[in-house]
């Protein structure tokens, strides 16, 4: 178990041409029932999920654990029935009317001081965390110090964290070397379009510096392929290079 931050698993579904949503950035609902069950299973094993504000704006809601076996397992292992839901947003510009705020989940907000102002006077978020990157020392142009936030989440008892997208958040997590496992469901459709989002947005990586993955398992169910990777740590890559 990691001492300094939660163990992080990214879970995404993608079209066969590598898009996580259509060019309108619609809510991605193209995964099958199997994919939904797979996502629910992943959510059911973690202490918290982290989602980017763009994803929340697209869906207006979040997936909760509803499978009785998964709920029973959480109960048996002394976990709350639902994992915590943590929303990452710089602007904190979220509509308080969306259904997410009526769902039976505990919600935390990770934002800037300015973003926090509006929500501090309200009930929707149980806790609000502000971890601003130092001015002039902003990590990779990020306004929020996600590394410091994750260290705090670990101290708050979050050992396992599922990152549910979207592409901007996942890019930041990879850029900061904060991802341990990556689940990708390849779904049988073509979304196309230059602006449609992909699993990892951001500035991209030069090939020599690209995060490397080890394939842990592949499952095929009907027309979907479930890919499960482990992220090879940078030190391991360096050792392989030296060796």
Ligand X SMILES: NC(=O)c1ccc[n+]([C@@H]2O[C@H](COP(=O)([O-])OP(=O)(O)OC[C@H]3O[C@@H](n4cnc5c(N)ncnc54)[C@H](OP(=O)(O)O)[C@@H]3O)[C@@H](O)[C@H]2O)c1
- In the complex with ligand X, the residue whose CB is nearer, 68 or 136, is 136
- In the complex with ligand X, the residue whose CB is nearer, 3 or 137, is 137
Q: How many Å separate Cα 55 from the centre of its chain? A: 10
Instruction: State whether the Cα torsion 22-27-33-35 is positive or negative.
Output: positive
**Closest approach of ligand X to the CB of residue 106, in Å:** 20
**Closest approach of ligand X to the CB of residue 240, in Å:** 29
In the complex, residue closest to ligand X by CB? 54
- In the complex with ligand X, the residue whose CB is nearer, 75 or 138, is 138
Cα distance between residue 82 and residue 77, in whole Å: 12
Where do contacts with ligand X occur on this chain (CB under 6 A)? 12-13, 20-21, 25-28, 52-55, 58, 88-91, 93, 142-144, 146, 164-169, 172, 197, 201
> 37 and 71 in contact (C-beta within 8 Å)?
no
**Closest approach of ligand X to the CB of residue 77, in Å:** 26
Burial of 113 (0-12, 13-18, 19+ CB in 10 A): exposed
Cα distance between residue 165 and residue 20, in whole Å: 9
Phi, psi of 173 (to 5 degrees): -65, -40
- In the complex with ligand X, the residue whose CB is nearer, 27 or 71, is 27
- In the complex with ligand X, the residue whose CB is nearer, 73 or 103, is 103
Q: Distances from the Cα of 243 to the Cαs of 48, 207, 236, 238, in angstroms?
A: 38, 20, 10, 8
The two structure tokens encoding residue 209 = 């510096």
**Closest approach of ligand X to the CB of residue 164, in Å:** 6
**Closest approach of ligand X to the CB of residue 179, in Å:** 13
- In the complex with ligand X, the residue whose CB is nearer, 116 or 237, is 116
**Closest approach of ligand X to the CB of residue 78, in Å:** 29
Q: Distances from the Cα of 32 to the Cαs of 113, 186, 239, in angstroms?
A: 39, 11, 40
């Amino acid at each position: 178990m990691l001492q300094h931050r939660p163990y992080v698993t990214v879970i995404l579904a993608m079209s066969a041409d590598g898009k996580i949503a259509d060019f309108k950035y619609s809510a991605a609902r193209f995964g099958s029932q199997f994919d939904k069950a797979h996502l629910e299973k992943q959510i059911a094993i973690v202490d918290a999920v982290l989602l980017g504000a763009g994803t929340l704006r697209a869906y207006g809601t979040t997936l909760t654990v509803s499978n009785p076996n998964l709920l029973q397992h959480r109960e048996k292992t002394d976990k709350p029935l639902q994992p915590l839901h943590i929303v990452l947003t710089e602007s904190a510009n979220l509509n308080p009317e969306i259904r997410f705020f009526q769902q039976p989940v505990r919600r935390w907000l990770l934002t800037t001081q300015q973003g926090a102002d509006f929500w501090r006077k309200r009930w929707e978020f149980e806790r609000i965390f502000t971890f601003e990157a130092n001015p002039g020392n902003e990590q990779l142009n990020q306004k929020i110090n996600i590394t410091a936030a994750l260290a705090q989440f670990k101290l708050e008892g979050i050992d396992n964290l599922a990152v549910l997208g979207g592409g901007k958040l996942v890019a930041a997590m990879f850029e900061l070397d904060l991802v341990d496992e990556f689940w990708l469901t390849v779904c049988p459709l073509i979304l196309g379009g230059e602006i449609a989002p992909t699993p990892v947005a951001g500035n991209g990586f030069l090939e020599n510096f690209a995060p490397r993955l080890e394939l842990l398992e592949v499952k095929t169910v009907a027309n979907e392929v479930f890919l499960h990777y482990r992220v090879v740590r940078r030190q391991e890559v360096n050792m392989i290079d030296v060796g």
